[in-house]
Amino acid sequence: MADASTASYSASDITVLEGLEAVRKRPGMYIGSTGPAGLHHLVYEVVDNAVDEAMAGYCTRIDITLLPDGGCEVIDNGRGIPVGKHPKFDDLTAAEVVLTVLHAGGKFGGGGYKVSGGLHGVGVSVVNALSRRVEVDIDRDGKRHTMSFIDGGQPHDRLEVNGDSPSEQTGTIVRFWPDGTIFDELTFRAQTLLDRLQMMAFLNRGLEIRFRDLRSEAQRKPQITPIDYDVDRSSDEVSDYVAEPEATTIAPTDDPGLNPDDVEFIVFKYDGGISDFVEHVNSTKEALFEMVGFFEAVEEDQEVEIAFQWNTGFNSDGLHSFANGISTGEGGMHEEGFRKSLTNVFNRYSFDKNILKEGKDDRLQGEDIREGLTAIISVRLAEPQFEGQTKGKLGNVSIRSLVERATNEKLREWLEENPAEAKVITSKAISAQRARIAARQARDATRRKSALDGAGLPGKLTDCASSNPEECELYIVEGNSAGGSAKEARDPHNMAILPIRGKILNVERARIDKMLNNTEVLALIQAIGAGFGPEFELDKLRYHKIVLLCDADVDGLHIRTLLLTFFFRQMREMVERGHVYIAQPPLYSTEVGKSKVYLQDERAKDQFLVDNPKHNNDFARLKGLGEMDASELWDTTIDPEQRTLLQVSVDEAVLADEVFSKLMGEDVQSRKNFIQSNAKDVRFLDI
Ligand code: 0RA
C-alpha cells in the first residue's frame, strides 16, 4: 500500500488492488490502446457512467471541464455514487468499490428495465487504474463525501464526510489526471471530446452536456520535438506500442491556464433528440425536403426510435445506428431489420401507387432507396450483445423483428401522410436505379479491359519488390516531380510510389459511373487492388500502409482531403482499420554548423529557437516536396527510422461524414469556415 496514513485494509482489498494492477499491465485490453484514443476513452468512461444515470432518469446535466494541469473533471447531477458499506467487501464503502473493483460500476441490486452502455462499461475503476490521481466528490443524503486515489488506484484519502452538500443537491464529481507512465501522450484534444459529447447529447434527448476547456494555448498543444537524427522515432508503430517506463510530461506547471469565469461552456442539449441529429447531419448538405421523419416503437424490454431525411447527394451510406447510446458501426440486427423493411415499404408503395408498373419495372434495390438518405436508428435494450471485429455489431435477434415491424407499419403510414415527400423520394430512387444500372455497365466494360480486377496495374505505379501486403507501403505522391524524387528515395523492397497529378475528382459530388471515367481514381483503385464501394474487400489490399504524401500548403491540403474523401466513401474499411497514413514533410530547414536540420512546423521552429537561443541563420521555408532531393526526402519523410506518420482514424463515422460534406459538398460557406478553422490543426486529422 502506498500510503501509511490510510486505514487498514483486509485481504479482500488486496485482491481489489491486484485487479487494478492487471489493468495497468495490459491497458489495451480495457481501453483499446495507450495512444490518443485510449486517453480520450478515459473521459468517455466517466461520462458514460453519468449518462447511465440520465438514462435511468436521475440526471439532467453533465459538465466536462479540461483543467489547466492536464486533468479532466466530470460533474453530474445524478443520485451520487452510493456511500454506504458494501455488502461483499468488508471495510469498503460502495463508492470505494465502484472506484477500485473492475466491473463494479454497474448498478448493483435493484431490478426493472435497466439499460446501460455495457460495452464501454468497464467501469470508472479502469480510469482510476490508469490515472496518477483521482478525486471523487459525492453529494448524497445532504452530505458532501470526498475521497482520493493516487498512483493507479492506491487509496490516498478514504471516503469521508466533508460538510453539507451545497443546496441539497445530489450528484458526483470525478476529477482524474491520466498517468504519464501509461499513455504515450497526455494532451486531450477538445474537438475529439466535443464530437463524442455532441453525439451523446443527440442520443439522449433533453440531456444537457456542457464542455469547457480551461487550458491555455500552450497547454492545448501536444509536445512535439524537432526532427533529430539521433533519436529513434518510429512512431508509426501505433498498434504495437509498448509504453516506455519513462513518464510523459505535461504542460509547464507555472502556467495557471484560463480563469473559469472567463470561459463559457459549450452546451449540447437537443429536445428533438435523433431528429435534431439528422437535421444536423443534413445541415451541411442540401435537404430534399424540409421535414425530418420520425417514428418509434416500445416493447416490454426493448425500444427503437428512427429519424430520417433525404438529401440531394449520392451517398448511400448515411444510415447510422446505435444501441444504448453506443455507435454500432458494423451494423447488426437493428440495421438489418430497417434495411429490409425500407426496401419492401418503398417497393410496395411504388407499385401500389403505380409509380412502378408491377410485372414490368424492376424492383428498387436497397441502395437505390438509400441514396441521399440520412437516418439514425437508436435502440435500447436490456442486454445488448456486441459482436464483430470491433465489437460494433449488434447481435440481439429480437430487435430485428421489432425494428422491421415498426418500419413496415410506421414508414408506410408516413408515406401516406406525406405524399409530396414520398414522391420526391421515389423519383430520386428511380434515378439512382438508372445510374446504378449504367454504372454496372461501365464497370463491366472497364473490367473487360482488365482494369479493376487487379490483373492490370496502372502505368504510373512504380511497384515494390515484395508481394507481402503486410510489409508493403503505397506512397501516393502529389505531382510528377515529387513523384520522381520519391521514386529515387524509396526502399524498392517494400515501398511503391503512385504519383497523382492535379486534383482528383471530387467524389462527393459525382455518381459512381462518372468516377470510373477519371484516370486518377482508376489508378488508385487498381494500385490498391481491393475494389471499391460495396464490393471493396479488405483482404485484397496490396499494401497495408497507404501513405498520402502531399505538400504542406493549401493545395496539398485540398488534394489530401479529396483523397481521404474518396477512401472514406469508397474504401471505408481501409480507413477504419487504420491503413491510411499521412506523411509529414517538414516545413522549415536551417543550417547548424555543417549539417542541415529540418523542422516539422511553426511550433517545432519556435521550440528550436528556445533550445538554441544563439542560432543566427535564417530559416528556409520548404515550398514543396519537389524542392527536396531524394536523400532529403528519405531523411525527413520516408525513412521508417525517422519519419512520423499520422494514422488517420475515424472516431464517429456519422460526424466524419459531416466533415467530408463540409469540405467537399455543395455548401461553399461551410467549407470555407471549416478550412479556415482547421487548416492549422491538420496535425490532428482524426476525422
Ligand atoms: C452505482 C450505483 C448507483 C449509481 C452509481 C453507481 C453512479 C456511478 C457514477 C459515476 C459517475 N457518476 C455516477 N453516478 C452514479 C445507483 C445509486 C442508487 O441506487 O441510489
The residue that leads in pLDDT, 505 or 47, is 47
Verify whether ligand 1 is closer than 6 Å to residue 220 (CB atom). no
Q: Within 10 A of 362 (CB to CB), how many other CB atoms are there? A: 11
Please give the pLDDT value at position 15: 63
pLDDT tops 80 at residue 681: no
Instruction: Please give the Cα distance from 520 to 501 (Å, whole number).
Output: 7
pLDDT tops 60 at residue 532: yes
Please give the pLDDT value at position 447: 58
CB-neighbour burial class of residue 93 (10 A; exposed 0-12, middle 13-18, buried 19+): buried
Average pLDDT value for residue range 598-615: 85
What's the alpha-carbon Rg for the chain, to the nearest Å? Answer: 27
- Can you say whether the dihedral through the CA atoms of 524, 529, 535, 537 is positive or negative? negative
Average pLDDT value for residue range 42-63: 95
Most ligand 1 atoms within 8 A of CB, residue of 63, 107, 207 to mutate: 107
Average pLDDT value for residue range 356-378: 95
Which residue minimizes the CA distance to atom 16 of ligand 1? 107
pLDDT band at residue 587 using 50, 70 and 90 as cut-offs: confident
Q: Which of 76, 367, 551, 601 is catalytic?
A: 551
Average pLDDT value for residue range 159-184: 95
Beta bridge partners of residue 475, listed in sequence order: 497, 547
Domain boundaries, the chain: 4-216+256-268, 274-437, 455-585+632-650, 662-687
Q: Within 10 A of 475 (CB to CB), how many other CB atoms are there? A: 27
Instruction: Please give the Cα distance from 334 to 397 (Å, whole number).
Output: 8
The mean-pLDDT minimum among 121-125, 391-395, 418-422 falls in 121-125
Instruction: Please give the Cα distance from 286 to 638 (Å, whole number).
Output: 41
Note if 164 is an active site residue.
no
Please give the pLDDT value at position 327: 92
pLDDT tops 50 at residue 677: no
Q: From the CA of 171, give the closest atom in ligand 1.
A: 14
Please give the pLDDT value at position 334: 98
Please give the pLDDT value at position 157: 96
Percent of the chain at pLDDT above 70? 83
Please give the pLDDT value at position 180: 94
Question: What's at 188, amino acid-wise?
Answer: F
pLDDT tops 80 at residue 416: yes
76 C-alpha vs ligand 1 centroid, how far in Å?
10
Q: Which of 413, 453, 553, 602 is catalytic?
A: 553
Verify whether ligand 1 is closer than 6 Å to residue 574 (CB atom). no
Most ligand 1 atoms within 8 A of CB, residue of 49, 115, 173 to mutate: 49
Please give the pLDDT value at position 222: 73
Instruction: Please give the Cα distance from 609 to 326 (Å, whole number).
Output: 46
Instruction: Please give the Cα distance from 42 to 105 (Å, whole number).
Output: 14
Verify whether ligand 1 is closer than 6 Å to residue 76 (CB atom). yes
The mean-pLDDT minimum among 103-117, 164-178, 205-219, 424-438 falls in 103-117
pLDDT band at residue 241 using 50, 70 and 90 as cut-offs: very low
Tell me the average pLDDT of the chain.
Answer: 84
Q: Which of 555, 627, 639, 651 is catalytic?
A: 555
Strands (E) in 502-660, as ranges, are 545-549, 580-582, 588-592, 595-599, 620-621, 646-647
Pick the CATH number of 455-585+632-650 from 3.40.50.670, 2.40.110.10, 3.30.70.120, 3.50.50.60: 3.40.50.670
The mean-pLDDT minimum among 22-31, 264-273, 342-351, 599-608 falls in 599-608
Note if 632 is an active site residue.
no
Q: Is 252 helix (H, G, I), strand (E, B) or coil?
A: coil
Single pTM value for the model = 0.80
Verify whether ligand 1 is closer than 6 Å to residue 59 (CB atom). no
- Interior CA angle at 670 toward 504 and 663, to 5°? 20
Verify whether ligand 1 is closer than 6 Å to residue 81 (CB atom). yes
82 C-alpha vs ligand 1 centroid, how far in Å?
6
The mean-pLDDT minimum among 122-131, 198-207, 225-234, 358-367 falls in 225-234
Please give the pLDDT value at position 102: 86
The residue that leads in pLDDT, 685 or 341, is 341
Which one, of 297, 309, 305, lies nearest residue 325 by Cα?
305
Instruction: Please give the Cα distance from 20 to 99 (Å, whole number).
Output: 10
pLDDT band at residue 643 using 50, 70 and 90 as cut-offs: confident
pLDDT tops 80 at residue 351: yes
Using left for φ > 0, alpha for ψ between -120 and 50, and beta otherwise, residue 643 falls in beta
May I ask the CATH class of domain 4-216+256-268? alpha beta
- Identify the H or E element spanning 150: strand 143-150
Which residue minimizes the CA distance to atom 8 of ligand 1? 81
Average pLDDT value for residue range 441-458: 63
pLDDT tops 50 at residue 236: no
Please give the pLDDT value at position 213: 97
Residue 635 contacts residue 229 (beta carbons within 8 Å) = yes
What proportions of the chain, in percent to the nearest 5, are helix, strand and coil? 40, 20, 40
Instruction: Please give the Cα distance from 191 to 189 (Å, whole number).
Output: 6
Q: Is 595 helix (H, G, I), strand (E, B) or coil?
A: strand
Average pLDDT value for residue range 154-172: 95
pLDDT in tens, 536-586: 999 999 999 999 998 877 778 788 888 988 898 889 999 988 899 989 888
62 C-alpha vs ligand 1 centroid, how far in Å?
14
121 C-alpha vs ligand 1 centroid, how far in Å?
13
Please give the pLDDT value at position 119: 41
Highest mean pLDDT among 133-142, 212-221, 435-444: 133-142
15 C-alpha vs ligand 1 centroid, how far in Å?
23
Note if 553 is an active site residue.
yes
Which residue minimizes the CA distance to atom 6 of ligand 1? 81
Residue 49 contacts residue 81 (beta carbons within 8 Å) = no
SS3 letters across 596-616: EEEECCHHHHHHHHHHCCCCC
Listed as own residue / partner, the contacts of 515-518 with beta carbons closer than 8 Å and 24 or more positions apart are 515/570, 516/439, 516/442, 516/443, 516/446, 517/442
pLDDT band at residue 111 using 50, 70 and 90 as cut-offs: very low
pLDDT tops 60 at residue 35: yes
The fold adopted by the segment(s) 274-437 is: Ribosomal Protein S5; domain 2 (3.30.230)
The residue that leads in pLDDT, 453 or 546, is 546
Instruction: Please give the Cα distance from 663 to 676 (Å, whole number).
Output: 11
Which residue minimizes the CA distance to atom 5 of ligand 1? 81
97 C-alpha vs ligand 1 centroid, how far in Å?
12
Please give the pLDDT value at position 515: 78
CB-neighbour burial class of residue 491 (10 A; exposed 0-12, middle 13-18, buried 19+): middle
pLDDT band at residue 503 using 50, 70 and 90 as cut-offs: low
Average pLDDT value for residue range 465-485: 91
Note if 416 is an active site residue.
no
Verify whether ligand 1 is closer than 6 Å to residue 51 (CB atom). no
DSSP of 378-402: EEEESS--EESTTS-EE--HHHHHH
The residue that leads in pLDDT, 11 or 20, is 20
Instruction: Please give the Cα distance from 558 to 418 (Å, whole number).
Output: 41
98 C-alpha vs ligand 1 centroid, how far in Å?
9
pLDDT tops 90 at residue 430: yes
